[in-house]
Each structure stands twice: as C-alpha cells, then as structure tokens.
Amino acid sequence: MRTNTARAVDLLVVLALLTAVTGAVAGCGSEKAGGHGARVGDGDPAPESEARARQVADAWDGSKAAETWRKGYYPLGETVQLPENAFRNGADKLAYGTRNFVLRGGLPATPQKDGKVKWESGGSLTLPLMGARKAYETVARGSNDGPHLTVTGAKLGEMTLATSRGPATVPAWLFTLEGYDTPLKRVALSPSKLPRPPIKPVGEVPTDELAPLGRLVGMAADGRSVTVMATHGACDDGPAVDVLETGGSVVLSASVVGTKDGPCTSQLLGEEVTVTLDRPVGDRLLLDAFTGRPVPNEENGPSPSQ
C-alpha cells in the first residue's frame, strides 16, 4: 500500500534530477491564469502556503541577497534562440529536442576576454566571455545516429533576453546551421553567482500542500505572466500554483490538488503552468516558496553550497 507520504519521498528524489536536467519531466502542458494572491488551480490557497509565501517575501525584502541579485546578471528568458521559422521538418525538431548535433569544421577562437551585459533600462555589467566550444557543448548534448542538426561555423554577435533586471542585450555565439538562413544563438555569458538565500527551505520532503517548483519555462515579453514547470503524481488531479505579489518579489507556491489515498505508482509528471500577474515582474525577485530561493531555470539552478 502506497500513501501520499511515500509518494512525496519519491517526488523529492526525482525533483533533484528535474532541477539539474532541462526538460527531464514528461507530461501534458496547459495554460492557466492567476493573479495577486490567487491559486492557479482548484480551490483557495492553504493558510500554511500563504504564511510561508509571506515569510519568504519578508526575508528577501531589503536583504543583502536581494541587493546582490539586483546587481547581477541572472537570465530569465531562453539563453538559446532558434533560427527563424525553425524547424524545417519533424526530423530537425526531434534532433533539437534530443540536442543531437554534428559539428562540421572548426569553431573560432574567443576574440576577447570579457563581454558586456547592457540593460534596456540603463547600466551594464562586464563578465567573462564564454568560448565558442563551451557554448556549443551546452547546446549539443546528444550524440547518436538519429536525426541531427549540422553546425558549419560560428561567429560572435548579440541577442536580447529577459533578465532579473529587465530586458538586456548580451554577447552571443551565432551558430550557422546547415539548411537555415538565420543562426541559432546561444548566450556567451554565464550568470552571476547566486546569493545565499536569507531563508531556509520549508523542509526536506515536499507535501501535497507545498512542493518545490520544477523550473522556470519562460516569461511573456511584457513581463505580465510567467510559465513554470509544476510537478504532481499519477494519483491526483494535477498541480496548482499560488501567487503572492509584493513590491519586491513574486512568490510562487506549488501544490497538488485532488490527491487520493490508496495504491499509487511513483510517477512524477510535469505540467507547464502559466501564471498571470497584476503587473510586470520588472526587477522583482521571482521566488519559490518551498525552497526560499529564486525559481531555477536551466542557467540558474541552485548551487551545491546552498
């Protein structure tokens, strides 16, 4: 007999892998909307969830960690941008999904030591420039005989993306793909070091009432909505996300609705949930109530020291 508690332990194990590996979860996506203090799902937020979200917001507000975050470079948008009108066919789409690339020819040497982040709102930050080889290896993770994309060259250019301080222009490697007129772009900078959170995680084991988010999937161009990967088990009605907006942060609390007692498999399912906000994220921190940390993405997962 498997209970919800046993299933929660299984979720914790897989969640650790989920935050380390992009796209590790499987499930069907959905778009749901919520607002200030609202639950994205069925029912009202649990009192414990609301209280925890407020604790996290209060801990970060005016903290040294928040000051460090607002001075650094933390991408919130996709650090890889696809060629225009990608993809030509299903095989190419599959190749990108499995990150199966072939390099034909060499990659250029890094022309300079540093690169600069330039924010649309003003200000800039100089960071070490990532080499073309390392940038390529962050994109090309597969190696098999299946469908593949062929990279024939690269040059240093720029791209724009959402960051914790608003839209920014950053250096990027522009990889030429065989069969495409426009390049695949990959940011040529690594994010700043994460600050140490001013509050500890709520606990070690997620529950149906509060669990860690999988990762940040994306943010709308106007900053009025964010999409996150929320997880749930095979014996419930799916995930819910509570939202607490303050002047300095947006705290997201993930939970599971419609849980059932009795036998249950230990599957972990992922579902994309889109949360609509009362106003744009701007430079507010996007926080996970369970961990007390910024919502992780493929570039900005929690460091081992945390």
Higher pLDDT, 156 or 266: 156
The residue written with tokens 């950053």 in the block is 170
- How big is the chain by its Cα radius of gyration, in Å? 20
Work out the average pLDDT over 205-219: 82
pLDDT at residue number 77? 82
Do you find a cis peptide bond into 87, omega within 30 degrees of 0? yes
Q: Which residues neighbour 215 within 8 Å (Cβ) at sequence distance 6 or greater?
A: 18, 19, 22, 228, 229, 295, 296, 297, 298, 301
CATH architecture of 80-187: Beta Barrel (2.40)
Q: Chain centroid to CA 191: how far? A: 13
pTM here is: 0.74
Cα 248 to Cα 246: distance, rounded to the nearest angstrom: 5
Sign (positive or negative) of CA dihedral 137, 138, 144, 146: negative
**Cα–Cα nearest to 290, from 300, 298, 302, 274:** 302
Q: What is the pLDDT confidence band of residue 209, given thresholds at 50, 70 and 90?
A: confident
How does pLDDT run across 233-279, given as a tens digit for each residue?
666 667 889 899 999 999 999 987 766 666 666 666 778 899 999 99
Higher pLDDT, 172 or 35: 172
Cα 127 to Cα 112: distance, rounded to the nearest angstrom: 11
Domain residue ranges of the chain, discontinuous segments joined by +:
4-71+195-294, 80-187
Q: Max alpha carbon distance in the chain (Å)? A: 61
Percent of the chain at pLDDT above 70?
A: 75
pLDDT at residue number 232? 63
Taking the alpha carbons at both ends of the chain, their separation in whole angstroms is 35
Cα 116 to Cα 172: distance, rounded to the nearest angstrom: 11
Query: Residues 199, 121: contact at Cβ < 8 Å?
Result: no
User: What is the total residue count of the chain?
Assistant: 306
Q: Chain centroid to CA 82: how far? A: 17
Identify the weakest region by mean pLDDT among 88-92, 109-113, 128-132, 175-179. Answer: 109-113
How does pLDDT run across 3-25, given as a tens digit for each residue?
333 333 334 333 443 333 333 33
Cα 42 to Cα 256: distance, rounded to the nearest angstrom: 10
DSSP-based three-state secondary structure for 102: strand
Cα–Cα distances in Å, from 289 out to 101, 283, 284?
A: 37, 18, 15
